[in-house]
Amino acid sequence: MRTKALLIAAAAMAVGVVSSEAQVYSQNIVGYVNNVAGQNYSVQSVPFDQAGGNSLTNLIANAGGAWDGSYVYVWSGTGFTVYTLDSSLSTGLGDAADATAVTPPVLNPGTCFFVNNQTPAAITNTYVGTVHIDSGTYPGTSTNVLSATGYSLVAPVIPVGGGLTSVLGLTNSAGALDGSYVYVPHIVNGSFNGYTVSTFDSGLATGFGDAADAVAVPEPVISVGGGFFFNNQSGSAVNWVQSIGQ
């Protein structure tokens, strides 16, 4: 997956847009992420609060029908809800059989989903918007609440990539996440090849074990525009907090 991110911190460098009537400054961080959806399967994640809202058909613009016939898989907490991109329908989105128009779901920053691109070529999906900060202004923190039970399909709220703990801030303080699992999708040339599974284990040198928690493995690395399944075994919801500018 090839991704590109551009973030501009307006607190460090004010970005002004001048009109004949007023001068407007952004007090947040704006940017874009290019995420290539090759033919068949790819991972997409929501990196911004987008202008016009975060409905699926705003995140994947398909007014011209470039995506028609492609599928989007949104995790419900227990399984996938399948949508078909169809510009001929009133909502721009059909059910799994593309038989009925459905309301586009709203996908907030930090949400991950799968795309099955059924068009003849790869499509670059460009996300443009504002980095989500809980307080609404920079600097601040961004929080992704991970479910207390079962599986969550998630991504960093702040669109950066790197080590899950060391860079992205999903820490295992006092071993609270010990025994919880991380499933990173393994997709090669559009073919889904399962997951790379890691186990949180504060007793191991890297902080992570393999799927059986038998040997230490490197910290999972999540790319910009990527995501993972988190299987929470802690018994409580987890507040994944990322700081920006603090």
pLDDT for res 103: 98
Q: Report the C-alpha gap between 51 and 53 in whole angstroms.
A: 5
Predicted TM-score of the model (pTM):
0.89
More confident call, 242 vs 20: 242
Q: What is the mean pLDDT of residues 145-151?
A: 95
* Residue 13 pLDDT class (50, 70, 90 cuts): very low
User: Which of 15-19, 22-26, 83-87, 173-177 is the least confident region?
Assistant: 15-19
Q: What mean pLDDT is predicted for residues 224-239?
A: 96
Of 197 and 138, the one with more pLDDT = 197
More confident site: 6 or 57: 57
Cβ neighbours around 2 below 10 Å, total: 11
Q: Please give the pLDDT value at position 134.
A: 96
Position of tokens 């992570």? 208
More confident: 94 or 22: 94
Q: How far is CA 87 from CA 16, 125, 242, in A?
A: 36, 16, 37
Nearest in space to 196 (alpha carbons), one of 164, 225, 224, 170: 164
Mean pLDDT of 196-209: 98
| Residue 22 confidence class, pLDDT cut points 50, 70, 90 | very low
Average pLDDT, the chain: 90
Burial class (CB in 10 A: 0-12, 13-18, 19+), 161: middle
Q: Rounded mean pLDDT of 80-101? A: 98
14 confidence band (pLDDT: 50, 70, 90)? very low
**What pLDDT is stored for residue 25 in this prediction?**
44
Report, as an integer, the average pLDDT of 41-48: 96
